Amino acid sequence: SVDASRPTDLPRFPEGDFIVQDAAQALVVRYAAIPDGATVLDACAAPGGKAIALGRTARRVLAADLRPARVRRLLENLARAGSGREMAVVADAAHPPVGAVDAVLLDAPCLGTGTFARHPDARWRVSASALTRLAEQQEALLDAVARVVRPGGLLVYATCSLEPEENGLQMARFLTTHPEFSREPPTGFPVGLRSPDGDLELFPQVHGTDGAFAARLRRRAA
């Protein structure tokens, strides 16, 4: 018999026909709307759900993560469910391992306040100092990956947090200091899942998913 509580026991799991993730993470990839055939840097890729989804239509996905242990898990997931167009590397998003690419997804380190329903113990990690430290790290990572987005390319910034300092305020700062970028939400994306600025904004108590945020930015063509 199949134990439905164990995804590894479900039919077609070993063959890589599906991955397990919250709907919010799948919506981030849908919101990113990265064009088919693009070369993509997934700058903080482990455990790989978004890289696998992007790899279905991309020409190449460079899936990077800083910690070797996380990249080992990433490699396992890519081996099972990847398309073969994903390449896993150990790399720091603060020093992107590429030149110009068509699109960058930065799923940034964050407080993770949008996942508290599933991880209630994570609340003990929340403090004003932790929020300040993470916002500063996000700022530095955004500045770094922005440099490798080709003119006319896309930068998608995402978190699984609900804090304005990590989301809307972070975008306001970035757009002020990087006038070559501007918001470009995907066409046809449901209005009920977007903020007044057009960013993806999900709340557990409203949408029945993890909390999540994503902004889709276009770099001005040369």
Give catalytic residues, as residue numbers: 160
CA distances from 90 to 33, 71, 136, 152 (A): 26, 6, 22, 27
| 16 φψ region: left (φ > 0), alpha (ψ -120 to 50), beta (else) | left
Instruction: Tokens for 65, please give them.
Output: 């993560």
Q: Is the dihedral of CA 61, 67, 73, 79 positive or negative?
A: positive
For 15, counting Cβ atoms within 10 Å of its Cβ (0-12 exposed, 13-18 middle, 19+ buried), the class is exposed
* Single-letter amino acid, residue 93: A
Contact by Cβ (8 Å): 58, 40: yes
| C-alpha–C-alpha distance, residues 204 and 212, integer Å | 9
